[in-house]
């Protein structure tokens, strides 16, 4: 592929973007004075355009920016809005809770309802609540260290679990390193964490055999470096090796919930010791959750006995608040249902088939992968087997070009990679519109 041509096309899309979005540009300039880097969160500088679009409203699977352009939204807040934006079935009733108190340091029946429902779905009997998936992961790791009396955590190269200090490690040329960009780590993360490649049972066993690892923290299918599926037998191997060496298995289902009502855990009959969730659980209202097996919960309860449960290092004043838990209850009851997941999966299949056909017709060395209603295309011929291969499939020119080409024509993909997520509000026509534009982008190359 002609790189000079891609560069020229990218520049053209950047110019179109700047011309199309004068209001966002003006806000981005104004933001330089009071928001570091001109954004309220650093990752917002990573969009493909020269400045971020400022949001005006979002509804269902559509968002509108302040310049009045409407987009078909396949980013869905990077899963926070997998339910579709502001689903009526949730927000209408949630308004009642707004008038009944939002946070009171007291449990509500909704907390119990949500715990019962999550137990049904994921098989873990005990649940606790946080305000984010990050915080659920932090708590899960603390509990795992406390229960096992071991200091270390193991993660896979290419993982992302939120701003969890222990997970900010990577392999560079096979050597473990603090992840690039890791800002002010409390200690060198190599002191706390081992990192190995996904789908490498030998490396995994080597690391676990030292019996100093409290927990393996992983997604059951990697979704943050493209979608990287486990090789046949790898998840079973992961479970048996963690059991063999006395390490707890923490599955982060924040993204992989897209595989079904009980995530990959239910779909593939997995047996984690702890499980973490967040993002979509409250239809965008901040909430995270972590589930504990009976054994872990009993050991944890023992450790919490006494007067120091408020200084255990897990929790937060607003965690498990009444509003978040009502949002989670309504979301689980009315939106993230069996029927919705079936619909999202069918749309995901349609999206994948569309992209696949374009790639095949153009004879490109690219591929597309999927997990339930989550689809991703990557610029390498075969599906990646680990983080290193997946990272090699990213392209510093093609990635922003595709994103901007789509954005300038009304389609929003998840930033940082070419991921598309379906929601119950997504339609076949929206999926087909993406396919059409993807074909146009490819033709223009
Ligand atoms: N787990 C996974 C798998 C994630 O992808 C992310 C965020 N992308 C998180 C946890 C953290 O979520 P949050 O930033 O909402 O805490």
* CATH number for the domain harbouring residue 413: 3.90.1150.10
Question: Which ipTM was obtained for this model?
Answer: 0.99
Q: Which pLDDT value is given to residue 46?
A: 84
Q: Which pLDDT value is given to residue 307?
A: 84
The confidence band for 150, taking pLDDT boundaries of 50, 70 and 90, is very high
pLDDT of 309 higher than 90? no
Same domain, 108 and 133: yes
Q: Which pLDDT value is given to residue 190?
A: 98
Task: Tell me the CATH number at 126.
Answer: 3.40.640.10
User: 85 CA to middle of ligand 1, Å?
Assistant: 18
Same domain, 112 and 60: no
Same domain, 379 and 359: yes
Same domain, 312 and 343: no
Same domain, 204 and 315: yes
User: 162 CA to middle of ligand 1, Å?
Assistant: 4
- Protein residue closest via CA to atom 1 of ligand 1: 161
- Using DSSP's 3-state secondary structure scheme, residue 378 falls into strand
Same domain, 114 and 243: yes
Q: Mutation test of ligand 1: which of 139, 217, 279 has the most ligand atoms closer than 8 Å to its C-beta?
A: 279
Same domain, 210 and 101: yes
Query: Of 334, 368, 383, which residue is a domain's last?
Result: 334
Task: Note whether 380 and 368 are within 8 A (CB).
Answer: no
Same domain, 76 and 134: no
* Residue linked to tokens 């901007």: 404
Same domain, 433 and 393: yes
Give the position, in ligand 1's atom list, of the atom nearest the Cα of 279. 15
Residue among 218, 339, 338, 345 at smallest CA distance from 266: 338
Residue 354 corresponds to which tokens in the numbers above?
A: 């569309």
User: 161 CA to middle of ligand 1, Å?
Assistant: 5
Q: What domain range is 174 assigned to?
A: 88-334
Regarding the beta carbon of 25 and ligand 1, being less than 6 Å apart is answered no
Same domain, 255 and 394: no
Give the position, in ligand 1's atom list, of the atom nearest the Cα of 132. 16
What percent of the chain stands above pLDDT 90?
94
pLDDT of 266 higher than 90? yes
In degrees and rounded to multiples of 5, residue 284 shows phi and psi of: 110, -15
Whole-angstrom distance, CA of residue 115 vs CA of residue 133: 16
Q: 319-358 burial string, b = 16+ CB within 10 Å, else e?
A: bbbbbbbbbbbbbbebbbeeebbebbbebbbbbbebbbeb
What is the arithmetic mean of pLDDT over 4-22? 97
Same domain, 190 and 325: yes
Same domain, 328 and 359: no
pLDDT of 269 higher than 90? yes
Q: What is the tally of structural domains in the chain? A: 2
Query: Of 314, 334, 354, which residue is a domain's last?
Result: 334
Query: pLDDT of 387-440, one tens digit each?
Result: 999 999 889 999 999 999 999 999 999 988 899 999 999 999 999 999 999 999
Whole-angstrom distance, CA of residue 320 vs CA of residue 335: 20
Give the residues across from 150 on adjacent strands.
Answer: none
Query: Of 334, 362, 387, which residue is a domain's last?
Result: 334
């Amino acid at each position: 592929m002609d790189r000079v041509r891609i560069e020229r096309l990218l520049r053209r899309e950047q110019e179109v973007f700047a011309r199309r979005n004068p209001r966002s540009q003006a806000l981005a300039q104004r933001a330089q004075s009071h928001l570091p880097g001109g954004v309220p969160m650093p990752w917002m500088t990573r969009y493909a355009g020269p400045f971020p679009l400022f949001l005006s409203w979002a509804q269902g699977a559509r968002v509108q920016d302040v310049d009045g352009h409407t987009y078909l939204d396949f980013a869905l807040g990077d899963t926070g809005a997998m339910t579709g934006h502001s689903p009526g079935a949730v927000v209408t009733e949630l308004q009642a809770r707004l008038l009944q108190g939002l946070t009171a340091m007291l449990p509500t029946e909704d907390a119990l309802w949500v715990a019962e429902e999550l137990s049904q779905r994921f098989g873990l009997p005990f649940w606790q609540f946080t305000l984010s998936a990050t915080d659920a992961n932090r708590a899960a790791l603390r509990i795992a260290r406390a229960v096992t009396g071991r200091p270390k955590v193991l993660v896979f190269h290419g993982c992302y679990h939120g701003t969890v200090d222990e997970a900010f490690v990577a392999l560079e040329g096979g050597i473990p390193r603090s992840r690039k960009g890791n800002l002010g780590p409390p200690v060198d993360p190599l002191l706390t964490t081992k990192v190995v490649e996904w789908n490498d049972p030998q490396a995994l066993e080597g690391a676990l055999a030292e019996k100093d690892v409290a927990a393996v923290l992983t997604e059951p299918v990697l979704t943050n470096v493209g979608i990287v599926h486990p090789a046949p037998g790898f998840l079973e191997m992961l479970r048996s090796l963690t059991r063999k060496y006395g390490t707890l298995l923490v599955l982060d289902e924040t993204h992989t919930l897209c595989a079904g009502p009980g995530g990959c855990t239910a779909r593939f009959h997995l047996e984690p010791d702890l499980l973490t969730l967040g993002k979509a659980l409250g239809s965008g209202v901040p909430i995270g959750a972590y589930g504990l097996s009976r054994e872990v919960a009993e050991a944890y309860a023992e450790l919490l006995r006494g007067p120091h449960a408020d200084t255990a290092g897990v929790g937060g004043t607003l965690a498990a608040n009444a509003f978040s838990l009502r949002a989670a209850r309504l979301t689980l009851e009315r939106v993230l249902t069996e029927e919705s997941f079936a619909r999202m999966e069918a749309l995901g299949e349609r999206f994948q088939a569309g992209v696949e056909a374009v790639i095949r017709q153009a004879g490109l060395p690219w591929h597309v992968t999927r997990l339930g209603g989550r689809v991703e295309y990557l610029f390498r011929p075969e599906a990646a087997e680990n983080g290193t291969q997946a990272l090699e499939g990213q392209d510093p020119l093609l990635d922003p070009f595709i994103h901007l080409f789509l954005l300038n024509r009304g389609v929003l993909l998840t930033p940082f990679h070419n991921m598309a997520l379906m929601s119950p509000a997504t339609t076949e026509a929206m999926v087909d519109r993406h396919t059409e534009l993807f074909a146009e982008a490819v033709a223009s190359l």
